[in-house]
A and B are shown apart, each in its own frame.
Chain A
């Protein structure tokens, strides 16, 4: 009995590890590295990677630009309905992506809620790269905002307070004190949001469709070529696994950096408000 429990724990871990690592390992067992590189030269693969990279970068810039101040506000101000606002912002985290796609169509589609207004501006969003960017923003930004709120909340309130008493304006306190202190947490949230956006599938295929070279991202291309050319699909899949590993390691490094008190940052805060 005494030995049974540790054994159970070890078995559970072994089972979880085997189950979660096996499919990833299997991808690499089916394509050799040389083949992988060769298949990535395939035009469909290259086009899809370019579309993914471009839309992800644009979406991510938007997420950082809007999400950072929004998270700062939610972390530093208490107001009525704050809980509701946070819950609404987090909803896409748990929403099925197909529902996200449907919602985006219902809001921004040609016959959607804002369809007429957008058409009047000469904008038809579905089937364009804008649609891909919006789909990514919709599903990925909650990851960043959530991490951002936590990062700003974890700052010792004495530091921004000290900056204020020394006469720094709120914008300056944000830029020179809070932002540098929250950078580790923000970076970790940012990488996770980027990863989620890169893997986006359901909302994209509904809202943006799938056109090689325009709206077909890497995950959509995997699905599209699967029945014709398994090798290309596997190569794209393997590449996404490698990118995901890099992102996860990056996020972990940033998180541990954020947790360890860094004297250089605490020192830079007062110097910044001088």
Chain B
């Protein structure tokens, strides 16, 4: 029974991946959605799948055919390592949290404390979504856990948070500095005070069984190509 399911799934995956014809190396990269501008720049031939790191990890656990997994936090990588699905991993970048508000900033939000005002429509990443977990960490550090009562939606990835704010439907959200930058003029952003910034680490992981294409991709990400793409998008070097 299991074999039948696996064979069917494999056939579907092959049919799904083989269509484009542009993939020169068949490498599939699963990347945290905050890396939307970086992951494709490392190797234009690779197929990049974006999503919440936790959702991507769940898909890899269920047998998705990813060669490289770029996670916005360590937890999803560790969980996959425990399941024997990760060969090696290394931190490659860091990021900052910012508060984003719609361009007009109707709520007049500028600080974390403002998020706790009654009637505030706050949007965060869901439980397990790294951007959401980092945001909850920051709120806890600032003694503002009760601001979670102002949350009107927990989104499945950080770009979902950004979208609700950019559309002007939510008053504020907490995202990465790089996301706010990518959204351009639709949002305004206010960096969190240094005291409350969590330790954000992006991890590049080689998925079992390791392929040469995947090794090359991670090599390029850790090399000059990666450094430039990460800097251009506003990422910081990993904390040493």
Chain A interface (Cβ within 8 Å of chain B)? Answer: 19, 22, 26, 29, 105, 109-111, 126-127, 205, 208-212, 214-215, 223-224, 226-228, 230
Of listed B58, B128, B152, B170, residue having the most chain A CB within 10 A: B152
Chain B interface (Cβ within 8 Å of chain A)? Answer: 1, 4-5, 8, 52, 54-55, 57-58, 102, 121, 123, 126-128, 151-156, 164, 167-170
Distance in Å: Cβ of A102 to nearest Cβ of chain B: 9
Question: For residue B54, which residue of chain A has the nearest CB?
Answer: A227
> Knowing A227-B54, A228-B128 touch, does A209 contact B5 (C-beta < 8 A)?
no
Contact residue among A29, A127, A210, A224 (Cβ-Cβ distance under 8 Å from B121): A127
Point out the residues of chain A lying under 8 angstroms from B8, CB to CB: 19, 22
Question: For residue A224, which residue of chain B has the nearest CB?
Answer: B126
Point out the residues of chain A lying under 8 angstroms from B57, CB to CB: 227
Q: Is the CB of B152 within 8 A of A209?
A: yes
Point out the residues of chain B lying under 8 angstroms from A209, CB to CB: 123, 152-155, 164
Complex Cα distance A274/B139, Å? 71
Q: Is the CB of A111 within 8 A of B168?
A: yes
Can you add 18 more A-B contacts, CB < 8 Å, to A111-B168, A209-B152, A209-B164? A19-B8, A22-B4, A22-B5, A109-B168, A126-B152, A127-B121, A127-B169, A205-B156, A210-B126, A210-B155, A210-B156, A224-B127, A224-B154, A224-B156, A226-B58, A227-B55, A227-B58, A230-B58
Interface of A is mostly: loop
Point out the residues of chain B lying under 8 angstroms from A109, CB to CB: 167-169
> Knowing A127-B121, A209-B155, A210-B156 touch, does A111 contact B167 (C-beta < 8 A)?
yes
Point out the residues of chain A lying under 8 angstroms from B121, CB to CB: 127
Point out the residues of chain A lying under 8 angstroms from B169, CB to CB: 105, 109-111, 126-127
A-B contacts, 28 listed (Cβ < 8 Å): A19-B8, A22-B4, A22-B5, A109-B169, A110-B168, A111-B169, A127-B153, A127-B169, A127-B170, A209-B152, A209-B153, A209-B154, A210-B126, A210-B155, A210-B156, A211-B151, A211-B154, A214-B152, A215-B152, A215-B153, A224-B126, A224-B127, A226-B55, A226-B58, A227-B54, A227-B55, A227-B128, A230-B58
Q: Is the CB of A127 within 8 A of B127?
A: no
